[in-house]
């Protein structure tokens, strides 16, 4: 992916991600089947939340990948029926996420540590040796370092805590 590297737009997007974004890793437990044992899977991702769909569409078009969906909110007695809908832009593919993070890295302030950790995680994943056999798609196991990165990101992304140095 070749990202359009207009410095003004990259800086704007970095600011938007600092304020409205989330850089993290999703951890899933793969179920055990007759052919394979249960295992953990890790998926890096970027989410940007906003009530303005058009802004998120601009970001999706600028990046060239990802998808936008409406967030389904839990109904509450205290909520009013006239609330604006909320949307999220999500980018999950490592090969698309890495060049974007590399372009954003110098401009991020609040999410700088998350960006650094996510890039480290992606670099580890991309250099992991694929194990293939018997016609199945290649897979790799995850290292302790990848689990450590996941845990560090969880701590950095905890709500209500100040993550600035």
b/e 66-97 (16+ beta carbons within 10 angstroms → b): beeeeeeeeeeeeeeeeeeeebbbbbeebebb
Domain ranges of the chain: 7-73+82-156
pTM above 0.95, yes or no: no
Residue 41 and residue 135 in contact, taking contact as beta carbons nearer than 8 Å: no
Per-position pLDDT tens, the chain of length 165: 445 668 899 999 999 999 999 999 998 877 767 666 667 788 999 999 999 999 999 999 999 999 999 998 776 655 556 678 899 999 999 999 999 999 999 999 999 999 999 999 999 988 876 665 554 555 566 788 888 999 999 999 987 655 555
Is it true that domain 7-73+82-156 has CATH number 3.10.28.10? yes
Q: How far is CA 103 from the centre of its chain?
A: 15
Dihedral angle, C-alpha 113, 12, 126, 65, nearest 10 °: 140
């Amino acid at each position: 992916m070749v990202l359009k590297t207009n410095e003004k737009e990259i800086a704007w997007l970095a600011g938007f991600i600092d304020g409205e974004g989330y850089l993290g890793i999703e951890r899933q437990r793969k179920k055990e089947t007759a052919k394979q044992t249960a295992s953990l899977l890790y998926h890096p991702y970027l989410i940007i939340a906003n009530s303005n769909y058009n802004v998120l569409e601009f970001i999706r078009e600028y990046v060239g990948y990802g998808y936008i969906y409406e967030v389904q909110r839990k109904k509450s007695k205290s909520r009013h029926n006239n609330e604006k809908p909320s949307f999220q832009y999500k980018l999950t593919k490592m090969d698309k996420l890495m060049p974007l993070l590399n372009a954003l890295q110098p401009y991020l302030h609040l999410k700088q540590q998350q960006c650094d950790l996510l890039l480290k995680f992606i670099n580890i994943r991309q250099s992991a040796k694929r194990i293939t056999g018997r016609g199945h798609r290649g897979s790799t196991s995850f290292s302790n370092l990848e689990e450590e990165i996941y845990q560090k990101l969880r701590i950095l992304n905890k709500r209500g805590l100040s993550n600035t140095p």
